[in-house]
Amino acid sequence: MTAFSLEPAQLAWCAELRALAAERLRPLAGKGEPGRVNRALLAELGALGLLPRLFTSGALELCLMRESLAHACTEAETALALQGLGAHPVHAHGTDAQRAHWLPRVAAGTAVAAFALTEPAAGSDAAALSLTATPAADGWRLSGEKCWISHAPEADFYTVFARTTPGAGARGVTAFLVPADRPGLTGTALDMLSPHPIGALAFDAVPVTADDVLGEVDRGFRVAMDTLNLFRPSVGAFAVGMAQAALDATLGHTARRDAFGGKLKDLQSVAHQVAEMALRTESARLMVYAAATAYDEGAPDVPRRSAMAKLLATETAQYVVDRAVQLHGARALQRGHLLEHLYREVRAPRIYEGASEVQRSIIAKELYKNLEDR
């Protein structure tokens, strides 16, 4: 198999996932409360065996899962992705005790995970974070704030990044596994456009010990970047799934809609827009698959490829969904319409896990780094 051609078994699995999402996950998503964790949906993702795959799949398989689920049920896709984002540092860098305690519960959908990196004054510049880990007799005390944290304040545990060495930039950050019931940890829900919960966390001398460290002290930035390099292509896959859903809806609408004595698709201006939507969607899909395959093969240019995949796919999805809304007209803006839903969902991926501008900076940095290494 290459990055550009899926095997028949993979294609069949993607079709099965789309069917499961439509038949079993979408009804549960519809019963969820906006801004709250949908624990019934998480439990079903666990029962279907999808959450356990977060810890056994490579990057390409993760992308196929996210793309397929997003095509039929964005809520299910996001629930799965956030479990993976919050728990991957435990899976990849945690101790045996940490993994044994939390990962089976994450896989079953009974424990909610969250990735707590962003702060009020340190979003795109993650190395500038200021949540402080002050040394104490039994470890550290965490003091400060996190914000825009998905699954907060309802998560059962957080992967938290804190500064253990002042003035050391990325080299002075440590990752901690912090259960939600630790004294001094409080959270507030934020009223956001996204249907899943996003909140702020306040740390008032929250106690952590050496048993809570993920990886090594002062090496937490590596934990964060390892996680983001894996998940950035799959954010692109999420975007591709939404773009494909918008494209499919547009094909059906323009083929049926009467306009000017024929069908909407017969207008060259419409047909060319649909062709452009398909071209961009397929281009983004191929770049996502290529980046994921590079990650799985341990290629040296993963940061650049991951950034390119997220950038192209999320910007493409924004374009495709916007074009789809335009071609559908006013009906696409009605509450409950697929495109009204996608129009709200498609905006955030261009910001989280590194905004589009940050991805461009990463790409340029990697290009010039390669030039200097020659």
Could you tell me if 99 and 227 lie in one domain?
Answer: no
User: pLDDT at residue 81 above 50?
Assistant: yes
Give the domain-ending residue among 89, 108, 127: 108
338: domain CATH number? 1.20.140.10
Could you tell me if 231 and 199 lie in one domain?
Answer: no
User: pLDDT at residue 193 above 90?
Assistant: no
Q: Hey, what are 212's tokens?
A: 């809570």
For 248-273, what is each residue's pLDDT tens digit?
Answer: 999 999 999 988 889 999 999 999 99
Could you tell me if 147 and 135 lie in one domain?
Answer: yes
Could you tell me if 79 and 152 lie in one domain?
Answer: no
In a domain, 75, yes or no: yes
In a domain, 2, yes or no: no
Could you tell me if 195 and 236 lie in one domain?
Answer: no
In a domain, 368, yes or no: yes
User: pLDDT at residue 140 above 50?
Assistant: yes
Could you tell me if 29 and 155 lie in one domain?
Answer: no
User: pLDDT at residue 126 above 70?
Assistant: no
pLDDT score recorded for residue 124: 64
Could you tell me if 172 and 85 lie in one domain?
Answer: no
- Active-site position among 67, 75, 353, 366: 353
Mean pLDDT, range 334-354, rounded to an integer: 93
In a domain, 76, yes or no: yes
Give the domain-ending residue among 88, 108, 128: 108
In a domain, 29, yes or no: yes
User: pLDDT at residue 116 above 50?
Assistant: yes
Could you tell me if 213 and 91 lie in one domain?
Answer: no
- Per-position DSSP letters for 75-126, written without gaps between them: HHHHHHHHHHHHHHHHHHH--HHHHHHHHHHHHHTSS-EEEE--BTTBSS-G
The residues with which 280 forms a beta bridge, in sequence order, are none
Least confident of 75-84, 166-175, 179-188: 166-175
In a domain, 268, yes or no: yes
Q: Sorting pLDDT into bands at 50, 70 and 90, what band is 144? A: very high
In a domain, 1, yes or no: no
Could you tell me if 45 and 183 lie in one domain?
Answer: no
121: domain CATH number? 2.40.110.10
Total number of domains in the chain: 3
How far is Cα 363 from Cα 371, in angstroms, rounded to an integer?
13
On average, the pLDDT of the chain sits at 94
For 288-325, what is each residue's pLDDT tens digit?
Answer: 999 999 999 999 999 999 999 999 999 999 999 999 99
User: pLDDT at residue 1 above 50?
Assistant: no
Q: Sorting pLDDT into bands at 50, 70 and 90, what band is 2? A: low
Could you tell me if 35 and 71 lie in one domain?
Answer: yes
Longest dimension (CA), the chain: 80
Give the domain-ending residue among 108, 137, 167: 108
User: pLDDT at residue 93 above 60?
Assistant: yes
Sign of the dihedral through C-alpha 205, 208, 214, 218: positive
DSSP type of residue 25: I
88: domain CATH number? 1.10.540.10
pLDDT score recorded for residue 84: 96
Q: Which domain holds residue 48?
A: 8-108
In a domain, 3, yes or no: no
pLDDT score recorded for residue 275: 98
What is the per-residue burial (b if ≥16 Cβ within 10 Å, else e) of 191-213? eeebbbbbbbbbbeebbbeeebb
Could you tell me if 28 and 121 lie in one domain?
Answer: no
Q: Sorting pLDDT into bands at 50, 70 and 90, what band is 353? A: confident
- Per-position DSSP letters for 151-167, written without gaps between them: TTTT-SEEEEEEESSTT
Could you tell me if 64 and 127 lie in one domain?
Answer: no
Q: Indicate if 340 belongs to the active site.
A: no
Type and span of the H or E element at 263? strand 262-263
